[in-house]
Amino acid sequence: MTSGNSAGPAQAARDIAFVGGGNMARSLVGGLLARGWGASGIHVADPHAPTREAMAKDFCVPVHAVNLEAASRASVWVLAVKPQMMHAVASSLSELAQRQHPLVVSIAAGITSVQLERWLGGDIAVVRTMPNTPSLLGAGATGLYANAQVSPAQRALVEELLAAGGITRWVEDESLMDTVTALSGSGPAYIFLLAEAMQAAAEGQGLPPDAARQLTLQTIHGAARMLLESGEDAATLRRRVTSPDGTTQAALESFEAMGFRDVVARAIAAATRRGGELSAANDSPP
């Protein structure tokens, strides 16, 4: 099934095919359209009819039930599928990839550029990325790694694409992408867990749930703004808000006594390690 207008050869040089139409694809498509990208130059493939229908209705972009139909119309492929699906998806596109030599952008955790290039038949420009869920609001943080086949112009194009979701930072050592995944990719969940715990603790002390929730969320929002806008680092801001022998010091001493920094370090290490395990688990023999 296809809807929308197909692009001509000249326009196809910058056409983008999204293989997978989930939340991250939706955020990027919406961001591109908001920045003036033509809807007819964005193709979305997804096997689920409701997802395709929502994309076509919400964004007026061409949608496809078959990945090859979308990919054949574009020079940039955004592979927005789960790591467990990436091998099968990339392999199914390998013959077309060898004919078209597209720029391939992956947003799958743990899957390396070497794996993707191999599954696509070799000699393919691959950019591995790790966006996070705040990208859905245009407030994301995305790490990027490019293999040797990616040109400066293609780097700029990927920055333009991912900037729709927030800030981007290039990483020149791909082994560090698992750390990026652990830090910013998984990081929002750490903040959500902290918010859960703060609200629950306040309720445990007797605050009504609505008040505990509102005060928790605004506190996190305000602290994030101070980190972004004050020009000061986190340690400086922490010291400024910590009066000697005051309430904040009492709380921070409790955190430190329970090894808070070690807990965070172990969590980041566990997520980094899991990224490597995803790569190994989804690999195939060369």
CATH number for the domain harbouring residue 240: 1.10.3730.10
Q: Are residues 192 and 104 in the same domain?
A: no
pLDDT at 191: 97
**Residues contacting residue 37 through CB under 8 Å, at least 6 positions apart:** 16
Q: Are residues 161 and 47 in the same domain?
A: yes
Helices (H), the chain: 9-12, 23-34, 49-59, 67-71, 83-92, 94-100, 113-119, 152-162, 177-180, 187-204, 209-229, 234-241, 247-257, 260-281
Beta bridge partners of 43: 17
**Residues contacting residue 149 through CB under 8 Å, at least 6 positions apart:** 117, 123, 124, 125, 126
Q: Name the residue range of residue 250's domain.
A: 187-275
Of 191, 193, 187, give the one whose Cα is nearest residue 130: 187
- Residues 41-58 as b/e (b if ≥16 CB within 10 A, e otherwise) read bbbbbbeeeebbebbbee
pLDDT at 138: 86
Q: Are residues 255 and 217 in the same domain?
A: yes
Q: How far apart are CA 228 and CA 234, in angstroms?
A: 10
What is the number of structural domains in the chain?
Answer: 2
Q: Are residues 136 and 12 in the same domain?
A: yes
pLDDT at 284: 53
With H, G, I as helix, E, B as strand and everything else as coil, classify residue 3.
strand
Asked, for residue 19, whether it belongs to a domain, the answer is: yes
Q: Return the DSSP state at 7.
A: P
The answer to whether 110 touches 132, Cβ cutoff 8 Å, is: no
Tens digits of per-residue pLDDT, 205-251? 999 999 999 999 999 999 999 999 999 999 999 999 999 999 999 99
Number of other residues whose CB lies within 10 A of the CB of residue 203: 15
With H, G, I as helix, E, B as strand and everything else as coil, classify residue 43.
strand
- Residues in the chain predicted with pLDDT less than 70, given as ranges, are 1-13, 284-286
Last-in-domain residue among 177, 197, 227:
177
pLDDT at 55: 96
